[in-house]
Amino acid sequence: MKTVNQIISHLVTKPQYKYISKKRCFMKVIKLLPPHLHKAVLFTYTKNSTLYIALNHPGLKMEFHYKDNLIKSLLKQIKTIDPLCKDMEDISYIKYFVSNKKKEKNSPTPTLRFKERAKGEFNILTEDKKLEELFQKIKNKIKESYENS
């Protein structure tokens, strides 16, 4: 039985899914960049042998311009390293732009609510008055939360 990875790699090699294969190769190159740079990339696409890279912050656009030669060399090397990227077209130019699309934020994690199981029935065995007052406050809070849940 084939695994999911085998099925996907088989599908990607078909000519009608050439676009997906190119996207995968471009994202591999982007992932080879330093972490603060590859997190800034929203999406990529090609048009007329030009690779367009959409960024999420205008301040990083200049830094990508400095890394232009690095990205071009990575694009050339990925063809020899990855057999699925060998048919990738030659990229002559790379253009960077800041997209007005924002990354979707993860939905906030729900807070866990649980029913109080303790009833607040315990003996306070201390002779210190300050500690006894503190334990009594804790005992009252536990009883209050038990009654409310």
pLDDT digits (tens, 9 = 90+) for 21-33: 788 888 888 888 8
pLDDT digits (tens, 9 = 90+) for 24-63: 888 888 888 888 888 889 888 888 888 899 998 888 889 9
pLDDT band at 134 (very low <50, low <70, confident <90, very high): very high
Helix, strand, coil distribution of the chain in percent, nearest 5: 50, 15, 35
pTM, 2 dp = 0.60
Residues 81, 120 share a domain: no
Residues 57, 17 share a domain: yes
Greater confidence (146 vs 15) lies with 146
Q: How many domains does the chain have?
A: 2
Residues 145, 85 share a domain: no
CATH of the domain at 86: 3.30.300
Q: Inter-axis angle of helices 18-31 and 68-81, to 10 degrees?
A: 120
Residues 125, 82 share a domain: no
Residues 62, 91 share a domain: yes
**Six-digit token string for 111:** 């807070």
- Could you list the residue range(s) of the whole structural domain that residue 19 is in? 4-98
